[in-house]
């Protein structure tokens, strides 16, 4: 007798696949936007919007508009996270991608300073604020959505697929901007720079369509039904976070400190260090690119290990690896030799990031209960992003200069970040809500 699939289980499987695809696709778009504007800020934003400021001043102003997006991310994470806890994951995720889409396409349509003067600069800053506000909840929402759709024993693997996506979005943006740059400087500054921004409209339409088809996560629906039955539904989830779960926010913040420090020092500061140490810029870029691709492949392995041995253990192991490798990594990337630089970058991306990234989703979603999960994770992640991720390259550069070129202090900073995470994870395992409800 043939075995027939239960229709309900078949629908659940389809919903799970749709949620995973919606999350991965949206996260890729978020990082496409991030890298795309970063490339534009490096090449075209200064000449087009700040030409009157002069060379170095125009560059500073251009990168300031890049930084503005990061300023808005924590606020966006908190506000949209609150909405996600109060009204559901689906509407919050729709709002996030709509805001990013409107802002990104808007930048592509924006008249330059030659046409609108200071108004174009003001609108550019406004669009970057909107873009950052929407992006502040994207990765957190994607992790939460996937975690609440899959069974607990597969949560590490599935959320790791979301966390492995950012390098793919960055690679897509890099390729797109490289292709339009082939048109030549005159065409690039005239019209070609707009193409990657406008093309994103198609990506956002697909993302909105997919997310509009999503059903609410089973875990969130069950938790809210239970809360309504007992008349305990929270009116202000974000208030609950600050009032009763601020220790979890601190633990979540510290737990990902090592990951963000390693990730951004490898991607940003190590690139600069290799070049100033005598390596060709193209070789340094190749080393970082190859390393990041290694992390894309190995991060799901870290997620699988998190399911097998526990998210806290794998996350702690990754940070302990970062602690042990901090000085060797700096020693290798500061030689100026391509082989050693590649080995140092690969060590971080192969032995640290897969564990810290692969286990992060499961750890954070288990740290917060359903009713305030979106808000709690968003607050912990985006504050850490603004403080640790955003400032680590600057801190490392300042410590290197303070030490007259010695790698001891920047390596010590990296080791300290990883140590703080390892300690926080040990403490956090006691606060973890193993049951998602």
Q: What is the pLDDT of residues 384-411, one digit of tens each?
A: 988 898 788 888 988 998 999 899 999 9
The average confidence (pLDDT) of the chain is 87
Do 381 and 252 touch, CB atoms closer than 8 A? Answer: yes
For tokens 């088809």, the residue is 213
Do 183 and 195 touch, CB atoms closer than 8 A? Answer: no
What integer pLDDT is reported at residue 436 of this predicted model?
A: 39
Q: Binning pLDDT at 50, 70 and 90, where does residue 272 land?
A: confident
What integer pLDDT is reported at residue 55 of this predicted model?
A: 61
Rounded to an integer, what distance in angstroms lies between the CA atom of residue 431 and that of residue 363? 11
Q: How far apart are the first and last CA of the chain?
A: 39
Q: Is the pLDDT of residue 195 over 90?
A: yes
Q: What is the pLDDT of residues 317-339, one digit of tens each?
A: 999 999 999 999 999 999 999 99
Mean pLDDT across 76-104 = 92
Q: Is the pLDDT of residue 90 over 60?
A: yes
Closest C-alpha to 257, from 407, 385, 345 = 385
What integer pLDDT is reported at residue 384 of this predicted model?
A: 92
Give the domains, in start order, of the chain with CATH numbers: 7-224 (1.20.1250.20), 234-431 (1.20.1250.20)
Taking the CA atoms of 195, 201, 206 and 210 in sequence, report the sign of the dihedral they define. positive
Mean pLDDT across 288-302 = 91
Rounded to an integer, what distance in angstroms lies between the CA atom of residue 403 and that of residue 207? 48
Indicate the angle between helix axes 338-347 and 281-309, nearest 10 degrees: 20
Q: Binning pLDDT at 50, 70 and 90, where does residue 268 land?
A: confident
What integer pLDDT is reported at residue 61 of this predicted model?
A: 79
What integer pLDDT is reported at residue 220 of this predicted model?
A: 85
Rounded to an integer, what distance in angstroms lies between the CA atom of residue 329 and that of residue 407? 10
Do 53 and 62 touch, CB atoms closer than 8 A? Answer: no
Rounded to an integer, what distance in angstroms lies between the CA atom of residue 429 and that of residue 217? 25
Question: Percent of the chain at pLDDT above 90?
Answer: 46
Rounded to an integer, what distance in angstroms lies between the CA atom of residue 42 and that of residue 32? 15
The CA-atom distances, in angstroms, between 268 and each of 7, 48, 85, 92, 287 are 49, 25, 34, 31, 12
The CA-atom distances, in angstroms, between 379 and each of 74, 80, 237, 251, 282 are 7, 10, 12, 11, 37
> What values do phi and psi take at 110, rounded to 5?
-70, 130
The residue with greater pLDDT, 36 or 318, is 318
Q: What is the pLDDT of residues 345-354, one digit of tens each?
A: 999 999 999 9
Alpha helices in 4-88 (DSSP H): 7-43, 45-49, 55-87
């Amino acid at each position: 007798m043939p075995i027939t699939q239960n229709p309900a289980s078949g629908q659940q499987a389809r919903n799970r696949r749709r949620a995973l695809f919606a999350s991965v696709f949206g996260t890729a778009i978020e990082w496409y936007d991030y890298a795309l504007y970063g490339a534009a800020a490096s090449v075209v934003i200064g000449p087009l919007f700040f030409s009157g400021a002069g060379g170095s001043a125009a560059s500073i102003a251009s990168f300031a508009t890049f930084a503005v997006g990061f300023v808005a991310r924590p606020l966006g994470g908190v506000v949209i996270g609150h909405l996600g806890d109060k009204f559901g994951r689906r509407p919050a995720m729709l709002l996030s991608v709509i805001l990013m889409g409107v802002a990104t396409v808007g930048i592509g349509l924006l008249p330059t300073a030659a046409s609108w003067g200071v108004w174009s600069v003001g609108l550019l800053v406004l669009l970057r604020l909107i873009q950052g506000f929407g992006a502040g909840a994207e990765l957190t929402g994607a992790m939460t959505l996937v975690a609440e759709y899959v069974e607990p024993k597969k949560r590490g693997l599935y959320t790791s697929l979301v966390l492995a996506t950012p390098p793919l979005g960055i690679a897509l943006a890099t390729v797109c901007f490289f292709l339009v740059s082939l048109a030549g400087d005159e065409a690039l500054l005239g019209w070609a720079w707009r193409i990657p921004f406008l093309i994103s409209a198609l990506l956002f339409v697909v993302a909105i369509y997919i997310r509009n088809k999503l059903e609410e996560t089973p875990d969130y629906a069950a938790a809210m039904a239970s809360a309504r039955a007992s008349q305990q539904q929270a009116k202000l989830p974000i208030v609950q976070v600050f009032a009763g779960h601020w220790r979890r926010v601190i633990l979540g913040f510290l737990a990902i400190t090592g990951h963000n420090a390693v990730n951004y020092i490898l991607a940003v500061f190590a690139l600069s260090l290799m070049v100033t140490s005598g390596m060709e810029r193209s070789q340094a870029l190749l080393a970082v690119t190859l390393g990041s691709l290694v992390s894309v492949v190995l991060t799901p392995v870290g997620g699988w290990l998190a399911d097998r041995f526990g998210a806290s253990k794998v996350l702690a192991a990754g940070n302990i690896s970062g602690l042990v490798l901090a000085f060797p990594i700096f020693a290798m990337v500061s030689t100026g030799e391509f082989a050693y630089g590649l080995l140092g970058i690969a060590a971080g991306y192969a032995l640290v990031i897969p564990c810290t990234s692969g286990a992060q989703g499961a750890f954070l979603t288990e740290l917060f209960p359903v009713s305030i999960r979106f808000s709690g994770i968003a607050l912990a992640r985006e504050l850490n992003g603004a403080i640790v991720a955003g400032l680590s390259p600057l801190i490392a550069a300042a410590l290197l200069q303070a030490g007259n070129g010695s790698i001891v202090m920047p390596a010590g900073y990296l080791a300290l970040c990883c140590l703080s995470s390892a300690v926080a994870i040990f403490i956090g395992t006691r606060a973890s809500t193993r049951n998602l409800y």
